[in-house]
Structure 1
Amino acid sequence: MKILDRYLLKTYLITFTSVFVILFFIFILQTVWLFISELAGKDLDLFMIIKFLLFASPKLVPMVLPLSVLLSSIMTFGDLAENYEFAAMKSAGISFQRTMKGLSIFIILLSFCAFFFANNVIPYAEYKFINFRKNIAQVKPALAIAEGQFSNIGNINIKVDKKTGEKGEFLENVTIHKKSNLGEGAKTVIKSKKGHLLSSEESNLLQLILIDGYYYEDITPKDYKDRPKMPFAKVYFKKYNINIDLSKLNSTEEDKSQITNTNNMLSLSELKYTADSLSTSYNKEVLSVSDNVYQRFGFNYNMAQFDSIKNTKTPELTSFLDNTLKSKILEIANSDALSSKQNLEMNEMTFLAKKKDINNHWLSMYEKFVIAYACLLMFFIGAPLGAIIRKGGLGLPIVFAMLIFITFHFLNTFGKKLAQESGTTPFMGAWISSMVLTPLAIYLTKKAINDNGDVNFDFISEPFRKLYDFFTKKLNNNNNTIQENGD
């Protein structure tokens, strides 16, 4: 390795490491904020918090790594240009593409590492992260209950004044609000002086034993006249057992159906196999439903038979029936059509959910390649941009980096959402951000190689300028015509 390559690589690595650590710390704080309800006030020791963040950290790399490459590239090359080091290199006969050669090799190696990380480390960490949150409740179920505040566990809100014992399994002054399955709010309130939590690592059930308390339940009378009286039942108990499903502990909306097998926990080969299996099953179900519809409505005639029947001059099938029978036949046909419509709507919702699941698997597959390409793309945007603007440090480079990365992230999120709803193919949804920004990388690199700092985007603004001039000229002509007519 030549002295120039060592110098550029050392300068870039120092900046890249600093930027990566800072950005990673910022995103870790965001993760802590998202899961603050699971960490705060639950007596978690330092080791468990570190383990929690350790499992949550790998999935932040696809966000942090491209942004770090972009910002460090702008800062490094901007600093070199600002200090006239590029001018010195050029006077010594060293071209801009030669200065990028050594760093380009490093970025390519970094891209391969990013792909390996996304294909192996992130799925494993995602699996451990979700199951770790579930295992917290199994090993120390009291951690799911905070003192002095209501904690939501499935359809139960529980509050305790104090927890004692080695694992906090002994509770004092327990208050429970049990939600109704009919969506009518909390119809049942349970209060007890003491409580005891029993759990096992081999079981998904948590047993809550309440001692010395009362059970209150609002009763909804069938007769509307009795409802203003607000009747309720009150029962005193010495001992009362409640079984709680641990799978509902520490869960969020996005964690449903993500405990054992999800697209975020699979490698490339596993995603390909699962996506193909889901697609085959989906196609079979679509054919099955369509066959059932055809058989139910009797669509067994081909078009030629239908045309021959339609063109035959025969009396109406219901001409020999009276009006009463005709009305009953129409009611039966209407009921059958309504039932079929509801059945098709339910099948449509099921198919949409399954299609979304298939699309998510394909998106996860393409995203592993997008992460690797994004590192390369951000380098070839940031390096020439830094050489063109000739500004280092944390001022202007951060502005450019944030604008470019926000555009990349917005297009990436938009493409994924569109692909999930089958608005476009998963390939286009995953790669749309890279396709939009690749011409920008080529344009800036060409400008930097040609040592042309006069960067303009007239090819984008020129059509809008011509359109504005056209309407302005037309408006002025109309005003002149009105004035002449008035004179």
Structure 2
Amino acid sequence: MKILDRYLLKTYLITFTSVFVILFFIFILQTVWLFISELAGKDLDIFMIFKFLAFASPKLVPMVLPLTVLLSSIMTFGDLAENYEFAAMKSAGVSFQRTLKMLIIFIFGLSICTFFFANNVIPFAEYKFINFRKNLAQVKPAMAIAEGQFSDIGNINIKVDKKSGENGEHLTGVTIHKKSNLGEGAKTVIKSKRGELISSEDSNLLQLVLIDGYYYEDISPKDYRARQKLPFAKVFFKKYNINIDLSKLNMNDGLDDEIKNTNTMLKISDLRYSLDSLSKTYKKDVKYFSDYTYNRYGLTSDYNVDTTKIKKPKAPDLISILSLDSQQRVLEVALSDATSIKQNFDISEVGFQARQKELNSFEYSIYEKFVIAYGCLLMFFIGAPLGAIIRKGGLGLPIVFAMLIFIFFHFVNTFGKKFAQESGVTPLIGALLSSIILTPLAIYLTKKAINDNGDVNFDFITEPFRKILEFIQRNKTQQNVN
């Protein structure tokens, strides 16, 4: 390795490492903020929080790494150009593409590592992360119960004065409001001096053992006048057991969706296998539904009827033979059958669309792993020439350019994913949409930097917007004159 290559690589790596650490820390803070409701006030120790963040961290890499490459490239090459180091290199006969040689090798190796990381580490971490969130209550069941305040767990509302024990399993001063299944509010109150939580990681049931307490229950007599006396039952107990479904603890709609979307936990080989199985099942169900529909209702789209050869019936049709009452009944039955058929079709359509969306998600996940790796190369060939052109290093203007480009890149990626899932485009096009749009920009900037042409013209982007603004202003002027 020559001195120039070593110098450029060292300069780039110092900036790259610093930017990566800062951005990763920012995204970690964002993750903590997103899941603060699952972490705050639940007596989780440092080790548990560290595991939570360790499982959540790998899936941040596809967002942090391209932005890091882009920002560090702009900053490094902008700083070299600002300090006239590029001018010195060119005077010594070193071209711009020669300065990129060692960094291209590094970025290419980084892209390969990113692909293997996205294909192996991220799916494993996602699996561990989702299951860790799902099983938090099994690992430490007392975390769902906060001291001195009521906590909702399934159909009960529980408050404890104090928790003790290694995992907070020993409770003191327990008050429980049990909700009625008929939607009449809490009609049962249980109070006990002590309690204990007993659970197993292999079981979905949490046992709450209450000791020395009272069981109060409001009674609703059938006679309305008797209800005015507000009767209730009171029972003293030495020991009372309550079984709680752990699946109701620490669960939310977002987690339910993540558990269903298992494509994020699979490698490419597993995704291909799952996609093949789901596709075969989907096609089989579609064929079954079409055969059933034809046999049940006699519907088909392949009539091939020549309407010119249809002759009017000489005899009156069947409906005209019936009486008016019979005709009305026949038409009502026909309308009911048609409505039933339409509802059946609508329900089936929703089901098939959901399954098609699942298929698209699995296929998109395969291409996404390649796009993550290509994103590093793409951001480098945008950032490096852009830094050389704007000739500005540091944390000012480069951050503005980097954030604008990355926000656009991330927005197009998100849009392409949603569009592909809804079958608006193929999953391949949806995954490559951002690359298709930004690759010409990377080629354009690289060509300008190689030719040492700093006159970058973005009129092809801004010109349409300028014409629209001029058109709006002309219309406003004419309206004011009139």
TM-score, with structure 1 as normaliser: 0.88
Separation in 2, partners of 1:11, 1:439: 28
Separation in 2, partners of 1:263, 1:422: 17
Where does residue 64 of structure 2 map in the other structure?
Answer: 64
Q: Is the 8 A contact 2:5 2:99 kept in 1?
A: yes
Q: Sort the Cα spacing of 1:53 and 1:284 in 2 relative to 1 into closer, same or farther, 3 A.
A: same
Separation in 2, partners of 1:9, 1:73: 11
Separation in 1, partners of 2:216, 2:347: 40
**Residue type of the alignment partner of 2:409:** F
Instruction: Check if 1:320 corresponds to 2:321.
Output: yes
Q: Is the 8 A contact 1:24 1:64 kept in 2?
A: yes
Q: Is the 8 A contact 2:219 2:233 kept in 1?
A: no
298-307 vs 455-464, which moves further: 298-307
* Correspondences of 1:81-96 after superposition (within 5 Å): 81-96=81-96
109-118 vs 23-32, which moves further: 23-32
Separation in 2, partners of 1:379, 1:405: 12
Q: Sort the Cα spacing of 1:438 and 1:50 in 2 relative to 1 into closer, same or farther, 3 A.
A: same
Where does residue 116 of structure 1 map in the other structure?
Answer: 116
* Correspondences of 1:370-449 after superposition (within 5 Å): 370-449=371-450
Instruction: Check if 1:264 corresponds to 2:264.
Output: yes
- How far the C-alpha of 1:304 sits from its partner, in A, is 5.0
243-252 vs 300-309, which moves further: 300-309
Separation in 2, partners of 1:232, 1:177: 18
Q: Sort the Cα spacing of 1:420 and 1:248 in 2 relative to 1 into closer, same or farther, 3 A.
A: farther
Deviations 1:149-190 (A, max 9, x none): 3434445443333212232122234344556778x5845554
Where does residue 13 of structure 2 map in the other structure?
Answer: 13
348-357 vs 170-179, which moves further: 170-179
Separation in 2, partners of 1:241, 1:88: 82
* Correspondences of 1:179-194 after superposition (within 5 Å): 184=183, 186-187=185-186, 189-193=188-192, 194=194
* Correspondences of 1:452-467 after superposition (within 5 Å): 452-465=453-466
Q: Is the 8 A contact 1:386 1:392 kept in 2?
A: yes
Separation in 1, partners of 2:133, 2:125: 12
Gaps of 5+ in 2: none
Q: Is the 8 A contact 1:118 1:368 kept in 2?
A: yes
Q: Sort the Cα spacing of 1:159 and 1:460 in 2 relative to 1 into closer, same or farther, 3 A.
A: same
22-31 vs 246-255, which moves further: 246-255
Instruction: Check if 1:358 corresponds to 2:367.
Output: no
- The DSSP-based 3-state class of the residue aligned with 2:243 is strand
- How far the C-alpha of 1:471 sits from its partner, in A, is 8.0
Deviations 1:172-217 (A, max 9, x none): 34344556778x5845554322432221122121122344233556
Separation in 2, partners of 1:479, 1:140: 70
Where does residue 485 of structure 1 map in the other structure?
Answer: none
Deviations 1:425-451 (A, max 9, x none): 211221211111111111111111111
Deviations 1:96-126 (A, max 9, x none): 1110111011000000000000000001111
Instruction: Check if 1:149 corresponds to 2:154.
Output: no
Separation in 2, partners of 1:215, 1:465: 74
Q: Is the 8 A contact 1:74 1:383 kept in 2?
A: yes
**Residue type of the alignment partner of 1:250:** N
Q: Is the 8 A contact 1:204 1:245 kept in 2?
A: yes
Separation in 2, partners of 1:402, 1:220: 67
- How far the C-alpha of 1:293 sits from its partner, in A, is 2.1
Q: Sort the Cα spacing of 1:20 and 1:317 in 2 relative to 1 into closer, same or farther, 3 A.
A: same
- How far the C-alpha of 1:233 sits from its partner, in A, is 6.3
**Residue type of the alignment partner of 1:423:** G
TM-score, with structure 2 as normaliser: 0.89
* Correspondences of 1:275-314 after superposition (within 5 Å): 275-299=275-299, 303-304=303-304, 311-313=311-313, 314=315
- How far the C-alpha of 1:334 sits from its partner, in A, is 2.1
Q: Is the 8 A contact 1:220 1:231 kept in 2?
A: no
Q: Size of the alignment, in residue pairs?
A: 477
Q: Is the 8 A contact 1:206 1:244 kept in 2?
A: yes
- How far the C-alpha of 1:463 sits from its partner, in A, is 4.1
- The DSSP-based 3-state class of the residue aligned with 1:256 is helix
Gaps of 5+ in 1: 483-487
Q: Is the 8 A contact 2:371 2:431 kept in 1?
A: yes
Q: Is the 8 A contact 1:173 1:191 kept in 2?
A: no
Q: Is the 8 A contact 2:159 2:176 kept in 1?
A: yes
Where does residue 350 of structure 2 map in the other structure?
Answer: 349
- How far the C-alpha of 1:19 sits from its partner, in A, is 0.5
- How far the C-alpha of 1:410 sits from its partner, in A, is 0.9
Deviations 1:328-380 (A, max 9, x none): 22222222222222222222222222122111111211110111010000001
Q: Is the 8 A contact 1:75 1:386 kept in 2?
A: yes
- The DSSP-based 3-state class of the residue aligned with 1:291 is helix
- How far the C-alpha of 1:275 sits from its partner, in A, is 1.2
Q: Sort the Cα spacing of 1:304 and 1:3 in 2 relative to 1 into closer, same or farther, 3 A.
A: closer
Q: Sort the Cα spacing of 1:325 and 1:240 in 2 relative to 1 into closer, same or farther, 3 A.
A: farther
Q: Sort the Cα spacing of 1:230 and 1:346 in 2 relative to 1 into closer, same or farther, 3 A.
A: farther
Where does residue 31 of structure 2 map in the other structure?
Answer: 31
- How far the C-alpha of 1:63 sits from its partner, in A, is 0.7
Separation in 2, partners of 1:129, 1:150: 28
Q: Is the 8 A contact 1:138 1:199 kept in 2?
A: yes
Q: Sort the Cα spacing of 1:88 and 1:129 in 2 relative to 1 into closer, same or farther, 3 A.
A: same
Q: Sort the Cα spacing of 1:471 and 1:146 in 2 relative to 1 into closer, same or farther, 3 A.
A: closer
Separation in 1, partners of 2:103, 2:338: 67
- The DSSP-based 3-state class of the residue aligned with 1:207 is strand
- The DSSP-based 3-state class of the residue aligned with 2:244 is strand
